[in-house]
Amino acid sequence: MSMFLESKKKGDRFFYIPSFLLGVLSVALLFGVMYSIMSATTTLQMRSQGELTNKIKLIEPVNAAEIYPEFICGCCGRPLDPVNPCCGDMKQKINYIDQQIEAGLSKDEIMIAAVKEFGLASLAKEGTEQEIKNILIDQAPVDAPKIIFEQTSYDFGQVSQADGIVFTYFPIKNKGESNLVIDKLSTSCGCTLASIVYQGEEGPTFTMPGHGKENPANWSVAIAPGDEAQLKIYYDPNTHGEQKEDVLPVTRTISIFSNDPVEFEKQVRIDLNQTP
């Protein structure tokens, strides 16, 4: 009997020892797998962070000095000069560009935003206009509004200072598939005012920005697809004081800004010969 018990105890020891070793090996294997997974995850995270850091390094901040020479003042035609701005128009352009840079926009985004804000005539270099339009054509939706001017110039003939203000109309058509929203007008001189007449109602008048009269803000008019409005233009021959010349040839341009994604700015022109 004692020999049987002794033998059983030895057998138990032989049975428990392999089981214990198997358990240790299982735990070690489990920890090894977990460590491998954690190491791989950490490596991927570090690699992703490194790639992100490299991408961030490639995004260079836009320097205002790169943007200013791309635009000119509306009154003197000089490139924007933040040190010696010549007038309110130049200051307005400089401030707007600075705001876009602070907002973190890319150079192309700033160029497009500034052109939409100030018009194509504000560009300093030939060829830039078409480059911007090509980008906008690629981005334009198929159901976009489309602004059409069948007449883009008008000759008043002879205009006398003694007779005072004269005016004319240019028809505007929306040949797109969504509402054409006009939200801003501007003129090339303070002697010229412009407004939009739609469905018998005339909106506020706009003139050359940055030269005395403040243009309206937060205004817009929506012209339905297939519908028509009118651009009304006023010319005041007495704006610049008494005329010395017998005949003064005058040409003025008027810009119309809308949500047409390609022709976001359209221009018309008036001509006249001014007399005292």
Structure confidence by residue, pLDDT tens digits, 216-246: 989 999 999 999 999 999 999 999 999 999 9
Identify the CATH assignment for 147-275 out of 2.60.40.10, 2.40.110.20, 3.40.50.1820, 2.60.40.1080.
Answer: 2.60.40.10
Angle at which helices 107-118 and 128-139 pack, to 10 degrees?
100
pLDDT band at 116 (very low <50, low <70, confident <90, very high): confident
Per residue in 139-171, pLDDT tens? 889 999 999 999 999 999 999 999 999 999 999
CB 83 within 8 A of CB 33: no
pLDDT score recorded for residue 53 = 45
pLDDT score recorded for residue 133 = 84
Q: Average per-residue pLDDT in the chain? A: 84
Domain regions of the chain by residue span: 1-59, 64-139, 147-275
Percentage of residues in the chain having pLDDT higher than 70? 78
Residue with tokens 């001014």: 274
CB 109 within 8 A of CB 226: no
Q: What is the pTM of this model?
A: 0.64
How far apart are the C-alpha atoms of 70 and 65, rounded to whole Å? 9
Torsion of CA 61, 137, 258, 98, to 10 degrees: 10
pLDDT band at 174 (very low <50, low <70, confident <90, very high): very high
pLDDT band at 60 (very low <50, low <70, confident <90, very high): low
The pLDDT of residue 202 is above 90: yes
Give 25 or 54, the one with higher predicted confidence. 25
Residue 31, H or E segment: helix 2-58
Q: Residue range 20-45: average pLDDT?
A: 57
Task: Label each residue of 62-123 as H, E or C.
Answer: CCHHHHHHHEECCCCCCECCCCCCCCHHHHHHHHHHHHHHHCCCCHHHHHHHHHHHHCHHHE
pLDDT band at 120 (very low <50, low <70, confident <90, very high): confident
pLDDT score recorded for residue 1 = 46
pLDDT score recorded for residue 23 = 61
How far apart are the C-alpha atoms of 122 and 92, rounded to whole Å? 12
